[in-house]
Amino acid sequence: MDKNTMDKKRIEELRELLHKYDYHYHVLDQPLVEDSTYDLLLKELKELEDKYPEFITPDSPTQRVGGQVLQGFKTVTHKTPMLSLNNAFNEGDLKDFANRIYKTLGEKVKFVCELKIDGLAVSLIYQGGILVQGATRGDGETGEDITQNIKAIKAIPLKLQRPVDLEVRGEVYMPKKSFELLNRERGEKGEPLFANPRNAAAGTLRQLDPKIVGSRNLAAFFYGLVEGPDLGDSHLENLQKIKELGLPINPYIAVFDEIEEVIKYCQRWHEERNSLPYEIDGIVVKVDSLSRQQKLGFTAKSPRWAIAYKFPAQRAISVVKDIELTV
Ligand code: NAD
């Protein structure tokens, strides 16, 4: 077999494998492999597709935002798509990210660094200050209407401090303590355990009974204002506005002028992540200025003005053999 045919075969193999992992992770909430393994396979596929663009298919995992709309909920079309993020795995990737931005814009920029909370992305709509809709990311274009479940999360205000129209994006997560308690209870009842807090949060948000959601102590941090009053040019200042309106934002957000400082922040949180009461799987780095974000634009799957620095794997998770929907 020649190199070209071998690479084509590997592309097909990777695609099939990643499709399977996506389904178990996003739909069944039962991952088959560690995230770092998934990320490496995706990286390999991306590199091969860069080499052979003629082999890219529209359904390739590199072209789509993971996730699928489950039955049982109404669907919601996102006015602004909920995208994925490009990954950085080391210092070099972060420097390349900054250099690409400097080259495109012809100037330096401020970077906002946020903890990458390991939960589930949600989009909330408030009208006149009242929560009217909560949705999952789904496939990025269409998500599930989980308004009743969102209303059962105490950290999310039903009413904002001011009667404004707003759309915000954030992450719903399960604190480590709640996860341990939930799994202990499930173990005692002989029910299947959740693999990690992210899977527990995802499984909980997809419950058809909001009372169960209310009993499981989920929390949330918001990290993006999509539409809202007095939108300024600074992402950081917009996050501050979200907070003043009553939505929780993470306390460790920082802003830096130099990519070297961003790298130090990533290293610090890699060392200190275990001290947090919730799980994080990396750091999200964003260009602070919204007008510069606009100039940089998007690829099919992710913004060019943000990147997710992924921590190296922390511990192995056991391979889940019996696949059943954990509820
Ligand atoms: P992603 O998790 O790398 O990044 C995008 C997501 O980050 C957003 O949707 C949002 O939910 C989240 N996020 C958290 N904090 C944020 C912040 N401050 N600002 C912006 N976003 C923030 O990409 P993805 O497309 O959601 O999913 C890929 C992830 O799923 C990877 O971590 C991958 O390893 C994992 N995955 C694992 C398997 C598996 O089998 N283990 C399968 C599929 C996907």
pTM for this entry: 0.90
Ligand 1, atom 24, lies closest to the CA of: 84
Question: Tens digit of pLDDT for each residue in 296-306?
Answer: 999 878 999 99
Q: To test the ligand 1 pocket, which listed residue (124, 137, 169, 171) has its Cβ within 8 A of the most ligand atoms?
A: 171
Q: Which of 20, 116, 243, 321 is labelled catalytic?
A: 116
Please state the atom number of ligand 1 nearest to the C-alpha of residue 36.
34
Rounded to the nearest angstrom, the distance between the alpha carbon of 84 and the centre of ligand 1 is 7
DSSP 312: P
Is 116 a catalytic site residue? Answer: yes
Take residue 39 and report the two structure tokens written for it. Answer: 């990320």
How far is 140 from 65, CA to CA, in rounded Å? 6
Contacts 24+ apart (CB under 8 A), 192-196: 192/322, 192/324, 192/326, 193/326, 194/29, 194/326, 195/29, 195/30, 195/31, 195/317, 195/318, 195/320, 196/118, 196/279, 196/317
Helix, strand and coil content of the chain, in percent to the nearest 5, comes to 40, 20, 40
Please state the atom number of ligand 1 nearest to the C-alpha of residue 121.
11
How far is 111 from 115, CA to CA, in rounded Å? 13
Please state the atom number of ligand 1 nearest to the C-alpha of residue 87.
3
- Kindly indicate the confidence band of residue 324, based on its pLDDT and cuts at 50, 70 and 90: very low
Query: Which one is predicted more confidently, 321 or 15?
Result: 15
The full length of the chain comes to 327
Question: Tens digit of pLDDT for each residue in 162-202?
Answer: 999 999 999 999 999 999 999 999 999 999 999 999 999 99
**Quick one: average pLDDT of 255-259?**
98
Confidence (pLDDT) at 69: 63
Question: Tens digit of pLDDT for each residue in 115-135?
Answer: 999 999 999 999 999 999 999
Take residue 181 and report the two structure tokens written for it. Answer: 């308690």
Query: Which one is predicted more confidently, 261 or 326?
Result: 261
Measured from CB, residues less than 6 Å from any atom of ligand 1 are 21-22, 25, 31-33, 35, 38-39, 65-66, 84-85, 87, 114, 116-117, 121, 137, 171, 223, 281, 284, 308
Neighbours of 90 (CB within 10 A): 13
Question: Tens digit of pLDDT for each residue in 40-95?
Answer: 999 999 999 999 999 988 888 888 776 666 668 999 999 999 999 999 999 999 99
Rounded to the nearest angstrom, the distance between the alpha carbon of 70 and the centre of ligand 1 is 18
Rounded to the nearest angstrom, the distance between the alpha carbon of 64 and the centre of ligand 1 is 13
Q: What is the ipTM of this complex?
A: 0.93
- Kindly indicate the confidence band of residue 317, based on its pLDDT and cuts at 50, 70 and 90: very low
- Kindly indicate the confidence band of residue 325, based on its pLDDT and cuts at 50, 70 and 90: very low
Q: How far is Cα of residue 182 from the mean position of the Cα atoms in its chain?
A: 23
**Quick one: average pLDDT of 130-150?**
94
Question: Tens digit of pLDDT for each residue in 275-316?
Answer: 999 999 999 999 999 999 999 999 878 999 999 999 987 654
Q: To test the ligand 1 pocket, which listed residue (97, 116, 169) has its Cβ within 8 A of the most ligand atoms?
A: 116
